[in-house]
Amino acid sequence: MPKRAHIVISALLAPMSLCLAMPAHAATPNADDGAEAWTPTQSSIRANAAGISLPQTVAGLSLAKSGEASSGGRAIDNYAQYLSEDGAIQATLYVYMPTYADASLAAYMTDKAIMERFGSQTRRTAYASAPAAGQAGRAIRAVYDDAADGALVTAAGFVHAGRWIAKIRITGPSERRAQVLAGLDGMLSGLAFDDAASLHATAPAAFSACPAADTGDARLEKAEPATPTVPLDVRIPREGKDALCVRDAVTTADRRYDMLQQAGRSDGPIIVPVDDSGTVLAFDPAAETRGYKLSIHMVGQTDLYGTYDKVPSPRQIAAIIDGKDAQTAQAQSVATYAANGDVTVNQLTPTAH
């Protein structure tokens, strides 16, 4: 999985004592494996907090190891790695909790990452809704041939269950394409959910071009003292349920990102997906005043920033992503999500320089 963008987030800020708690992929596996995130049985492995299980042996693949990909000890960003007997086919199930959860968006960003990583010869040969847990249209299935100059076939599957995303990635030699696809389909059909009703219907996102929009710089309004509150959901259709359009392109030092909004609505929220691990910038119309509030959504965390008088320009958003916007570094609060759904909100004050 690609490294997250260099966004200036709450690590640069010091928390005040005010704190409240109330109810309310993923990175590459590292050495800080959190076995407590998973419960193995004789035949399966279960991501405890998410209530998602997969057989330990499926379609010629066997569980090799499991743990936490990041946020060690919080059980919100978990992986289970599977291998063929000879190790030539590798698959990983990621079970993670982004605070902006959308399987359609996860598939879109993973598609971009795969195309970027494996080269221009890579061909997308399947990209459509698929069944999960015996329910039609509850997953997205994607297949890519001729990756790595024709040497590899790689594939992916995506499911949104409750607050969680389950993402499958599998790769193997091109001459063993049938086994790679059998592994993907076996893992998708083998997924079991404690609450099958929590699965969201999903479909690949479709994007058109938005009408021309104002691209001038926005002004960050003066921050007013406020009581920390749990973030509201960004009010934009998800899971391919409504057409989105590309408002503009954001070009940073090393990458290009799309500014997305709901087609036919110039006054709605704007989102900028940053990576395939669930990082999303959101500009949401402010309820109490004119303007747009910035929030940055990640796995298990949302950073809440100030209000702009209008949607920031692509140049300003690029500065935010690159960590070069000093104004935006003045976060107001950070919401941290536990695996059980509890949210803790900390009000922040800038660290002295």
236 and 176 inside one domain:
no
Same domain, 215 and 183: no
Residue 333: CA atoms inside 13 Å, Cβ hemisphere, count?
Answer: 21
Tens-digit pLDDT profile for residues 239-290:
888 788 999 999 998 889 999 998 877 778 999 999 998 999 999 888 767 8
Using one digit for the tens of pLDDT, what is the confidence trace for 137-151?
999 999 999 999 999
For residues 23 and 58, give the distance between their C-alpha atoms in angstroms, rounded to a whole number.
Answer: 36
Whether residue 4 lies inside any domain: the answer is no
Domain endpoint, select from 170, 198, 226: 198
Does residue 102 form part of some domain? yes
CA angle 112, 79, 143 (to 5 degrees): 35
Task: Supply 202's token pair.
Answer: 């999903």
**Could you tell me which residue, 101 or 226, shows the higher pLDDT?**
101
Residue 110, domain member (yes or no): yes
Q: Does residue 227 sit within a domain?
A: yes
> Whole-number mean pLDDT of the chain?
84
Same domain? For 267 and 317 the reply is: yes
Q: Are residues 139 and 182 in the same domain?
A: yes
Q: What is the pLDDT of residues 63-90, one digit of tens each?
A: 999 998 876 788 999 999 999 999 999 9
117 assigned to some structural domain: yes
pTM of the model: 0.86
Residue 3 tokens, joined: 């490294």
Q: Per-residue b/e over 299-325, b at no fewer than 16 CB within 10 Å?
A: bbbbbbbbbbeebbbbebbbbbbbbeb
Domain count for the chain = 2
Instruction: Give the Cα separation of 334 and 228 in Å (integer).
Output: 9
Write out the residue range of the structural domain in which residue 266 sits: 207-350
Among the candidates 153, 168, 198, a domain finishes at: 198
Examine the fold and report which residue of 198, 233, 255 is the final residue of a domain before the chain moves on: 198
